Amino acid sequence: MSDAIADAKRALRADLRERRQLLSDQAREAAEDGIREQLDRLVADHRVRSMSCFLSTTTEPGTRSFVAAAVSRGIRVLLPVTRTDGLLDWAVATDDGDIAEGMFGLPEPVGELLGPIAVNDVDLLVIPAAAVDGNGMRLGWGRGFYDKTLGSMERCPPVYAVVFDSEVVDEVPSDIHDQPVTGIVTPTRTITLAPTRR
């Protein structure tokens, strides 16, 4: 990655992080309600029986109520667990599952780990992002977990990144290792992009 791209990513992440910190509790609650509604519709449209999602942090668009509702409806939801080698393990979400602080302070499920290849069998991937552009390029938080996961999948299902409405941007700085997403989920809309996989 060139220094210019790395610097542009760092600057954009810092701006987005600051904007997220400024959101009110009311705005966060409204966003979580919207994300749940959008993801419920997406899951129904794709007839999803098995998927991956993530447990949102306090500053991310909320996914936890969606995960709980999906599990109660019988959808198998795999949640990521970070590893020191940069890959993701996966654990099945349960109604009464414990949550602990994982690497980087991320909320992660406590339970049996299924290994990185478990995600190969899902119908849909729902992943976090800092921003996404109209070409499907996703800006993550710089650790590369999801780019490695997506880049290693032989048969990748649709991939939707979850962001706030203001984080759908004109252009995300990207390099050869960055993986595009199929679509974007915000609190008010779902955008299907169907980008070309690299």
What is the structure's pLDDT at 95? 87
Instruction: List Cβ neighbours of 39 (8 Å cut-off, separation of 6 or more).
Output: 53, 63, 66, 70, 126, 162, 185
Greater model confidence, 19 or 198:
19
* % residues pLDDT > 70 (the chain): 97
What is the structure's pLDDT at 198? 44
What is the structure's pLDDT at 177? 83
Q: Work out the average pLDDT over 176-196.
A: 88
pLDDT digits (tens, 9 = 90+) for 74-97: 999 999 999 988 889 999 999 887
Q: What is the mean pLDDT of the chain?
A: 91
Strand partners, 136: none
| 186 pLDDT more than 50 | yes
Residue with token string 């190969």: 120
Q: List the structure tokens of 104.
A: 């980087």
Helix (H, G, I), strand (E, B), or coil: what is residue 51?
strand
Q: List the structure tokens of 67.
A: 């995960």
Helix (H, G, I), strand (E, B), or coil: what is residue 181?
coil
pTM of full prediction above 0.75 = yes
Residue with token string 């109520």: 65
pLDDT digits (tens, 9 = 90+) for 105-127: 788 888 899 999 999 999 999 99
Task: List the single range of 143-152, 159-168, 187-196 with lowest mean pLDDT.
Answer: 187-196
> Residue 32 — pLDDT band, cuts 50, 70, 90?
very high
Helix (H, G, I), strand (E, B), or coil: what is residue 186?
coil
Quickly count: other Cβ atoms within 10 Å of residue 160's Cβ. 26
Strands 131-133 and 190-192 turn out to be unpaired
Contact 132, 172 (CB under 8 A): yes
Report the phi/psi class of residue 104: left, alpha or beta, with left for phi > 0 and alpha for psi in -120 to 50.
left
User: For residue 41, what are the CA distances in angstroms to 93, 114, 136, 161?
Assistant: 20, 28, 20, 15
> Which domains can be identified in the chain, with CATH numbers?
3-192 (3.40.50.10420)
φ, ψ for residue 139 (rounded to 5)? Answer: -100, 115
Quickly count: other Cβ atoms within 10 Å of residue 124's Cβ. 22
